[in-house]
Amino acid sequence: MKVLVIGGGGREHTLVWKLAQDSRRPEIFCAPGNAGTAALGSNLPIGAEDIGGLLEWARDEKPDLTVVGPEAPLCAGIVDSFEASGLRIFGPKASAANMEGSKAFAKAIMQSAGVPTAWAQTFTDADEAKAFVHEKGAPIVVKADGLAAGKGVTVCKSIDEAEQAINESLVDRAFGDSGSEVLIEECLVGEEASILGLVDGEHIVLLASSQDHKPAYDGDAGPNTGGMGAYSPAPIVGEDMWPFIRSNIFEATVSELKKRGIEFKGVLYAGLMMTADGPKVLEFNVRFGDPECEAILPRWEGDIIPVLEACIDGTLTDDLIRWKDDPCVCVVMASGGYPGAYEKGKLIKGLDKAGAIDHVTVFHAGTKTEEDSVVTSGGRVLGVTATGSDLAQAIDTAYKAVSIIQFDGAHYRKDIGAKALKVLS
């Protein structure tokens, strides 16, 4: 069996790692991949957003399955293109991927479906947006409508901060066309959790809960990033909440899309705020999260290929997935300066020694191979992941591995999992 994975980050290394363990022992290709995926399969010199190049390769090589990692090619219609060529591909078509591609579209779907979420209003004019902020007051949230690699959301503690965020998006065009429209949104209070659901157009199977850590520094300080670490399960999501999350969030959303003639197949990811009034949706994504993927997939027991194929074929059932009890923690090691400007090409030491620790897997994100060495090539460089008999043990093991790995300018949060320990204590 031949499988193509599209993308080159930590999520894609994790998917390749999980696919490589499948009982069907597939031959794996990753485009463009990184130093980690190269050790498990063959990297292809094709960018994740080069749909024409990917389609040309797939037509020639005829992979039995293609798995799309990042959101950009999904929103650009890669699934539509592959399916039109008779190729089997896991992920939503462009119309469904708009749940991540446009926050305004997703908010409209939620409002029509009665999904619990923050109030919001959209603006294309900076002065009108600022007037609305003055009317509502702070704290308030400013979101660029389109894709911004996890960095287009600003939680503003003051009106001045909100005006700066509006200027950044609508005036300075820091996010290009993705920021030509902004949502001004209610600032929900609570603790965040991520729930990912696999969808086959009709049936939904919810995956194990997890929690991401978006701010760059300890204590949730600093600017938002693509994610500085994650753990699974998230104890803030109690067993009593799952029926509500399934019915009022996932089933309601998939049903509303269907009413509009949009079939959703793939991963539907709900970023939730666990408020005093219950779970409310902060945002939807349409792919495995990163770094949530690194914390969830090591807990997935058994094969993944039959599940991905069931999503494509409309035959998804709950009994296809089993979970290990052991919690999992992922700590992201990032380049100095990230999420701002950073240097690349820094030599990474200690990878083999860290990876040799029991229950540790080091997932590569922004890495590449130069001669016989692995060097940095991105903002988020590694996802150092560990499982344990309990969360505290998993955290300790992950940070033990982190302490062994070195590269110039490396920084990471030292409090990944601390929130969960408070809930459990």
Please check whether residue 282 is in contact with residue 118, taking contact to mean a CB–CB distance below 8 angstroms: yes
Strands (E), 145-292: 153-156, 182-186, 191-200, 204-206, 211-212, 215-217, 221-224, 229-232, 265-275, 278-285
Q: In tens digits, what is the pLDDT along the chain, a chain of 425 residues?
A: 999 999 999 999 999 999 999 999 999 999 999 999 999 999 999 999 999 999 999 999 999 999 999 999 999 999 999 999 999 999 999 999 999 999 999 999 999 999 999 999 999 999 999 999 999 999 999 999 888 766 688 889 999 999 999 999 988 898 888 888 999 999 999 999 999 999 999 999 999 999 999 999 999 999 889 999 999 999 999 999 999 999 999 999 999 999 999 999 999 999 999 999 999 999 999 999 999 999 999 999 999 999 999 999 999 999 999 999 999 999 999 999 999 999 999 999 999 999 999 999 999 999 999 989 999 999 999 999 999 999 999 999 999 999 999 999 999 999 999 999 998 88
Residue 153: the pLDDT is: 86
Residue 150: the pLDDT is: 61
| Architecture field, domain 191-323 | 2-Layer Sandwich (3.30)
- Given the candidates 3.30.565.10, 3.40.50.300, 3.40.718.10, 3.30.1490.20, the CATH classification of the domain at 125-180 is 3.30.1490.20
User: What are the structural domain ranges in the chain?
Assistant: 2-93, 125-180, 191-323, 328-424
Q: Pick from 290, 252, 284: which is nearest to 269 by CA?
A: 284
Peptide bond into 223 cis (omega under 30): no
Tell me the residue length of the chain: 425
Peptide bond into 32 cis (omega under 30): yes
CA atoms within a 13 Å half-sphere pointing along the CA-CB vector of 55: 15
Question: From CA 319, how far away is CA 265, in angstroms rounded?
Answer: 18
CATH number of 2-93: 3.40.50.20
Backbone angles phi, psi at 332, to 5 degrees: -85, 130
Query: Token pair of 137, please?
Result: 């007051």
| Architecture field, domain 328-424 | Alpha-Beta Complex (3.90)
Question: From CA 211, how far away is CA 21, in angstroms rounded?
Answer: 25
Question: From CA 242, how far away is CA 209, in angstroms rounded?
Answer: 10
Question: From CA 20, how far away is CA 22, in angstroms rounded?
Answer: 6
Residue 296: the pLDDT is: 98
Query: Token pair of 279, please?
Result: 């779970």
Residue 149: the pLDDT is: 67
CA atoms within a 13 Å half-sphere pointing along the CA-CB vector of 338: 30
Please check whether residue 331 is in contact with residue 413, taking contact to mean a CB–CB distance below 8 angstroms: yes
DSSP code per residue over 185-203:
EE---SEEEEEEEEEESS-
Residue 151: the pLDDT is: 66
Residue 193: the pLDDT is: 96
Q: Pick from 303, 297, 333, 293: which is nearest to 11 by CA?
A: 293
CA atoms within a 13 Å half-sphere pointing along the CA-CB vector of 319: 0
